Structure 1
Amino acid sequence: MKELNKGMMVVKVLKQIMDSFKQNIEQGFKEMNVTGPQGMLMGILVHHGKMKISDLSERMGLSNSTVSGIVDRLEKQGYVERTRSEEDRRVVYVNVTSEFRKQVRKHFSEIEKKFETIMNETASEEIDKIFEGLILLKELMERHQQKKE
């Protein structure tokens, strides 16, 4: 088998694994009646904390008006809230509500439990192989990146 084909096979398998994770995450958002872009916005806020609309727009690659519309709908659902900066009242931040944080924690806890079940049903030798392979792949990618710099 050609090396290029092996490289593409690795990429394909990684994509399949990420798609599986994505499906589990999206299922939780569907239960909360949230679209993909809404989920993406809330994921950014959960990960990075409160942000201005312009910063969210930049991270999402969407216009300020589009992001503002997404925030409007999420605010009506009680998932995000806007707050004014105390230093500059013209600046408005968006953040997820504490209620949503609880739901996210619960959802990700369920995903972790599913993954933990899979790992518990797997032989330790197999887990070691997976871990060794992932570490090797990470090191190869880092070496390749260093060559480019």
Structure 2
Amino acid sequence: MDEKSKGILILKQMKRIMDLFHKNMKNEFEEINLTRPQGMLIGYLFQKGECKISDLSEYMELSNSTVSGIVDRLEKQKIVERNRDEKDRRVVKVSITEDFKKNSNTHYKKIEGRFSEIFENVEEKDLKFILKGLKKLEKIIEINTEESKE
């Protein structure tokens, strides 16, 4: 197998895996009228609490302007709110509104549970093997990305 074929095979496999995850979660987010990126953002806020746009951008691997647009739409729906930091008024943090928390906390627990269910019956050694392989793949891509910048 030539070098180009190896890379393409890995990319195709990764895309199939992500498509399966998205398919699994699509219905969960649609139930509460959210897109996947909106759902990811809200899920992160449920876990971490109040966050800056830059923190959300880093987590979602999207630009600050893209995340800010997502936050704008969620803010219009009264799902999230922006709050100025008391100590430094230049810093704006995003949090989930109390009303949305009350109405959707059980739904997000269901989504988290769904992710747990996917791996529930996988043996520990298999999970470790998968994670080790994914970390190795990440390192390979990082190294080659750094080399191409030089």
- 1:61 match: secondary structure: helix
Q: Which protein is bigger by CA-based radius of gyration? A: 1
Opposite residue 71 of structure 1, the aligned amino acid is E
Choose the corresponding residue for 1:113, options 112, 117, 136: 117
Quick one: percent identity of the two aligned structures? 36
Unaligned runs of 5+ in 2: 58-62
Structure-2-length-normalised TM-score:
0.63
C-alpha change, 1:135 and 1:44, in structure 2 (3 Å) is: closer
C-alpha change, 1:50 and 1:146, in structure 2 (3 Å) is: same
C-alpha change, 1:2 and 1:23, in structure 2 (3 Å) is: same
Residue 94 (structure 1) aligns with: 94
Residue 32 (structure 2) aligns with: 32
Structure-1-length-normalised TM-score:
0.63
Which aligned pairs between 1:1-149 and structure 2 lie closer than 5 A?
Answer: 1-46=1-46, 49-51=49-51, 59=64, 61=66, 67-73=71-77, 75=78, 79-83=79-83, 85-87=85-87, 93-96=93-96, 97=98, 98-99=101-102, 100-117=104-121, 119-120=122-123, 130-148=130-148
- 2:95 match: secondary structure: strand
Opposite residue 33 of structure 1, the aligned amino acid is N
User: In the alignment, is the contact (CA less than 8 A) between 1:26 and 1:36 conserved in 2?
Assistant: yes
- Displacement of 1:89 after TM fit? 7.3
- Displacement of 1:9 after TM fit? 0.7
Unaligned runs of 5+ in 1: none
- Displacement of 1:107 after TM fit? 1.3
Q: Flag the structure with more relative contact order, 1 or 2, with Cα contacts below 8 A and sequence separation at least 6.
A: 1
- 1:34 match: secondary structure: coil
Deviations 1:73-128 (A, max 9, x none): 1x1xxx434545444779764312443445323311222112223x25x9x5x666
C-alpha change, 1:136 and 1:23, in structure 2 (3 Å) is: same
Opposite residue 32 of structure 1, the aligned amino acid is I
